[in-house]
Amino acid sequence: MSSLIEFAQTAENIAATSKRTIKALILGDYFNNLADEDLITSARFFAGYIFPLRDQRTVNIGGAALLTAITTIANIEKSKYQERLVKLGDPGDVVFEVLSNNLKSKQLPSTLTLHHLFSKLEQLAALFGTKSKTSLVTELLRLATPLEAKYIVKLLAGDLRIGLKEGAVEDALARLFKVPVAKVQWVNMLTGDIGETAILARHQRLEQAKMRLFHPIKFMLASPADDLTEVTKQMPQGFAVEDKYDGIRTQVHIGGGKGEDSLHGTIINDCRVALFSRTLDEITWTFRDLIEPLAQLISDDTDNGLILDGEIIPIRGAKILPFQELQKRLGRKQVKQELIEEVPVAFIAYDILYANNRVLIDEPLKERRTILDSLRLDTEKIKRGLHKQFDDISGLDAEFTAARARGNEGLMVKDLNSTYKPGRRGKEWLKIKRAIATLDVVITAAEVGTGKRARFLSDYTFAVRTSETEPTLLNIGKAYSGLTDAEVTEISNWCRAHTIQELEHGRVCIVEPKLVLEVTFDRVQPSSRHNSGFALRFPRILRIRTDKPVAEIDTLETVQSLAETEDLPSCT
């Protein structure tokens, strides 16, 4: 049985090099010496998961519980922990530092194995309540050396932060077992489990992999079109034009039979249905009014399951409601029946990834659409997205106006010959949105407001990412207007629960950078007020984007290009 310390040392070696090939070689060497069971566990761990994607279990441990566990073990004040967390930015690095200064932890022998850790994490997932979860983590950390604790905490926080993504694990497996990397990626997508993929690769059985439903497949994303000439340039052979619905991107899995207990989804009439958000989280229960209508889609011809890609939108009768209505149903633990009735929703399908026992992502859009059109998607709750095929852009202005009149955000233009590329933002899907400039940003700090908002954290500092490849956050602005009182209360409570450091006696809170906002503004200007070197003039919050992960917010490059379009004096 392989030790946890060996896993941790391998992770340290991987973190120490920036070269992708060397990372893959180190990982390959490590995997090579492991027994099958440890290969499964460590492949998942290195890909950033604890359980396979199709497994609905989560350890579900928050920053506050980690803080209690770590400060108890290290015997330090919470304020000291918070101060170091702001400095180091990663709870794993903090626990390593504080335990390295703790004589007892420093002298502990390494006794933990990967197997032991995994079974503790399974127990943790089965526990309810912060108190019992915190005590299990405390007991686990008590047995760990500083380096082991560092990686336990990183796994619990959901990111090893060693510059290694799931793709690098796929690379390492392909190199080690001398199989094509595309095959490993394909099997990982089919099974939703990098651990199972590793075993199939080791035993040269990748060909035997079968599609498993009920794990989210990464979503294909769109790029903004600068103007309509870009459409002509990218898709000279013709394209599809669809309405851009303003809702929550959702992937629907529907399958017959019961399957394993730990699978995602809900069973109804012998059929399992699961909904996944763009962040790959399960949201079936938030939209439980869609479960039965979706289950009814399984008919004789689609008996073997379906995966649909689309959007959940708020809609009453034929009238599409504003996105803000849908917001009321998001981010809640419980969605009450009254709310379900107050905000009716429908699922609009615009793509299909699996049907009739066939994985369709390598088929061109034209073919996928024909299959989608053959399904009965025309009920009150389940609809097909509008889709027209065009040869040139002359009709696009009229389509845009019509889409806006229907209550939608704009248009999506898609290359009819394009395959579905999971997780990729390419030029094969172009989005044409409203004319005003917006940025997707993440809240990094919140400040108490004034007047009737004096009891709330209602003034938000927010940041963009440095670039597509560099996730460091850079503050760009601060806004307080645009939200309803109910939204301010909700964000304020969220910020209190996710504070990592309090300043000025709690008047200002540095928060975990997780909550995404869409903001608009009059202009972008150079400024030394924020570390991005830019500031927004008259920023207003358009909406909270709980559906968007931080990894997809805008970057400094976008901000720079918005600033370049304006030749204005600085507002420092």
Of residues 359-378, those binding ligand AMP (CB under 6 A): none
Of residues 408-467, those binding ligand AMP (CB under 6 A): 412, 431
Pairing relationship of beta strands 345-355 and 516-520 according to DSSP bridges: unpaired
Of residues 265-304, those binding ligand AMP (CB under 6 A): 278
CB atoms within 10 A of CB 358: 14
Q: Please state the closest distance from residue 385 (CB atom) to ligand AMP, in A.
A: 5
Under the binding rule (CB under 6 A), the answer on residue 350 touching ligand AMP is yes
Under the binding rule (CB under 6 A), the answer on residue 511 touching ligand AMP is no
The DSSP line for 490-535 is HHHHHHHHTEEEEEGGGTEEEE-TT-EEEEE-SEEEE-SSSTTSEE
Name the one range near ligand AMP by CB under 6 A: 241-249, 268-276, 357-365, 532-540. 241-249
For 114-160, list the strands marked E by DSSP. none
Answer for which of 23, 54, 212, 244 binds ligand AMP (CB under 6 A) is 244
Instruction: For residue 80, indicate whether it is catalytic.
Output: no
Pairing relationship of beta strands 221-224 and 425-432 according to DSSP bridges: parallel
For 367-496, list the strands marked E by DSSP. 382-384, 387-390, 410-415, 425-432, 438-448, 457-465, 473-479
Residues 21 and 167: their CA atoms lie apart, in Å, by 12
Cβ-contact 261, 250 below 8 angstroms: no
Residue closer to ligand AMP, measured from CB, 245 or 462: 245
**Of 338, 323, 340, residue with least CA distance to 285:** 340
Answer for which of 242, 447, 512, 554 binds ligand AMP (CB under 6 A) is 242
Q: How many residues bind ligand AMP (CB under 6 A)?
A: 12
Residue closer to ligand AMP, measured from CB, 396 or 446: 396
**Based on the number of CB atoms within 10 Å of its own CB, is 452 exposed (0-12), middle (13-18) or buried (19 or more)?**
exposed
Residue whose beta carbon is closest to ligand AMP: 249
Q: Which of 244, 381, 414, 548 is catalytic?
A: 244
Cβ-contact 451, 465 below 8 angstroms: no
Under the binding rule (CB under 6 A), the answer on residue 554 touching ligand AMP is no
Name the one range near ligand AMP by CB under 6 A: 51-59, 239-247, 448-456, 563-571. 239-247
Q: Is the dihedral of CA 278, 284, 290, 294 positive or negative?
A: positive
Answer for which of 161, 175, 249, 537 binds ligand AMP (CB under 6 A) is 249
Residues 46 and 37: their CA atoms lie apart, in Å, by 14
Residue closer to ligand AMP, measured from CB, 404 or 453: 404
Cβ-contact 53, 201 below 8 angstroms: no
Q: Which residues contact 320 (CB under 8 A, 6 or more apart)?
A: 245, 246, 313, 314, 406, 407, 408
Q: Which residues contact 306 (CB under 8 A, 6 or more apart)?
A: 252, 253, 254, 255, 297, 298, 352, 354, 355, 375
Q: Please state the closest distance from residue 563 (CB atom) to ligand AMP, in A.
A: 20
Cβ-contact 298, 306 below 8 angstroms: yes
Cβ-contact 290, 312 below 8 angstroms: yes
Residue closer to ligand AMP, measured from CB, 385 or 477: 385
Name the one range near ligand AMP by CB under 6 A: 192-200, 242-250, 329-337, 389-397. 242-250
Under the binding rule (CB under 6 A), the answer on residue 385 touching ligand AMP is yes
Of residues 153-212, those binding ligand AMP (CB under 6 A): none
Residue closer to ligand AMP, measured from CB, 245 or 354: 245
Under the binding rule (CB under 6 A), the answer on residue 245 touching ligand AMP is yes
Under the binding rule (CB under 6 A), the answer on residue 311 touching ligand AMP is yes
Of residues 75-104, those binding ligand AMP (CB under 6 A): none
Q: Please state the closest distance from residue 449 (CB atom) to ligand AMP, in A.
A: 28
Residues that bind ligand AMP (CB under 6 A): 221-222, 242, 244-245, 249, 278, 311, 350, 385, 412, 431
Q: What residues are labeled active site?
A: 244
